[in-house]
Amino acid sequence: MTSAALLPAAEATHPSPGRRRGIVAAVILVIAAIVMATSWALYDELHGAVGQRAFWWSLLFAFLPVLPLTALFVWLDRLRPEPAWMLVVALLYGALVATYLSLQLNGWLAGLVGDRTGATPRSAVFVAPWTEEATKALVIFVIVIWRRHDFNAVVAGIVYGGLTGIGFAFTENIVYYGQLFQQVLDSGDGVTKALDAVQRLFVLRGVGAPFVHPMFTLVTGLGVGLAVRYRHIGVRILAPVAGYCGAVMLHMGYNTIASFTTQEGLPAVYVALLVPTLLTLVTVALVARRYESRVIAARLTDYSTFGWLNAEHVPYIVSWQGRRQARRHVKPYGKAERRRLKTFQRAGVDLGLLRDRLVRGVEGARSLPRERALIASMRELRGRVVLPDAAEPGTEQMSSAGSSW
């Protein structure tokens, strides 16, 4: 059976644009309701331990690492950016829903293991890592299930995991900073000494180790991304489990260090253990992104073989140097041309990723209409977009070929 014979049935499985907009609007309304409910629940949970003055100071200190860390993950995701609103959802989920669920689960399970009067190293090491990594990971699984036919595999898993961890760390730091600030005030010391105490804690948590929660959760995201990439059922089951267990082990190790190492010994442990772990995971993320760009380039070569794409245009779609060169070249042509180039590059990346999923059997006949739409978009834009090897749009001749299937 040819791909054309599958077209009507496959198209029927995709909702119309109007229906998709309705689904997205309903999802956003549900998310807004969840954000409001969890915000109020967190306030009700914490307002007794953190006073109003303590809250605003802790909010300021906790927010300082958020922007640079978020920018790093957005930069990592720039080849094929995930929808901005979904990145915001991951950040908010980590800051609100995951934090609130973790507070409830940690308190309940800590009581079961005998910590009746508050958190101890026992619950910090053996309870918190399992509950917190599970609540943070939940949003990654939800996103993958909802967008399983349009999920950018490994890099997207890393980005969603990292952003969720950033949100979680933000709220957790508000709690730690706020409680410390309030305790110093309640002891009779003034605001100055309270701020000094928070500043010392900020140096440890906000400057020395702001990356720990993103680092933990991106390991889960890495496992989920690998599962999405492969068709084998064993990989699809074991990769997320291994990612989650890896995140828990890292979390347990960090909490053990924080619980049993003196302040004098923390710098040595930090340099010996945390920094190498961070560098290893950064290297894994960069290698995953580089591998992804090479895979896309290889898959786009299939289309250039059949005349649907010029082979010399592939670097302008995939490679970082080529993309920058193309955007610098098109800058004098105005905003409309820059937008056209961006659309051309995005369509090329999407086509390469889809082709890879088709070749590996992860996608089937239902994705053929989207493939044809992307091919049509590339063919239409190829004759109009301005690239460094073409002085004016429309100067190159198009060639045609039959289906590669």
Kindly give, in sequence order, each residue whose CB lies less than 8 Å from that of residue 259, ignoring residues fewer than 6 positions away: 121, 124, 125
Half-sphere exposure (Cβ direction) of 152: Cα atoms closer than 13 Å: 24
Q: Same domain, yes or no, for 68 and 190? A: yes
Supply the pLDDT for residue 16: 56
What confidence tens digit (pLDDT) does each residue in 350-375 have? Answer: 999 999 989 888 888 888 899 999 98
Buried/exposed 162-173: b ≥16 CB within 10 Å, e otherwise: bbbbbbbbbbbb
pLDDT at 3: 39
CA 143 to chain centre: 10
296 plus 152 within the same structural domain: no
Question: How many CB atoms sit inside 10 A of residue 394's CB?
Answer: 11
- Number of structural domains (the chain) is 2
User: Is residue 275 situated within a structural domain?
Assistant: no
Mean pLDDT of the chain: 83
- Do both 250 and 339 map to the same domain? no
Residues 107 and 182 grouped into a single domain: yes
| Co-location of 92 and 127 in the same domain | yes
Residues of the chain below pLDDT 70: 1-21, 23-24, 47-49, 116-119, 389-405
User: Are 388 and 288 contained in the same domain?
Assistant: yes
Shared domain for 210 and 312, answered yes or no, is no
Q: Among residues 200, 228, 260, which one ends one of the domains?
A: 260
Q: Answer whether residue 240 is part of any domain.
A: yes
292 and 248 inside one domain: no
Q: Residue 109: left if φ>0, alpha if ψ -120 to 50, beta else—which one?
A: alpha
Give CA–CA dist 99/35, Å, rounded: 12
What pLDDT is stored for residue 24 in this prediction?
66
Do 306 and 211 reside in the same domain of the chain?
no
* Predicted pLDDT of residue 397: 37
For residue 132, being part of any structural domain is answered with: yes
Q: Which domain holds residue 321?
A: 283-405
The whole-number pLDDT of residue 271 equals 80
Crossing angle, helix 52-63 and helix 153-186, to 10 degrees?
140
On whether residue 10 sits in a domain, the answer given is no
Confirm whether 177 is domain-assigned. Answer: yes
Q: How confident is the model at residue 117, as a pLDDT?
A: 63
Same-domain pairing of 249 and 321: no
Torsion angle of C-alpha atoms 130, 131, 136, 138, degrees rounded to 10: 100
Inter-axis angle of helices 335-359 and 275-305, to 10 degrees? 90
Are residue 196 and residue 301 in the same domain, yes or no?
no
Q: Is residue 221 part of a domain?
A: yes
Asked, for residue 3, whether it belongs to a domain, the answer is no
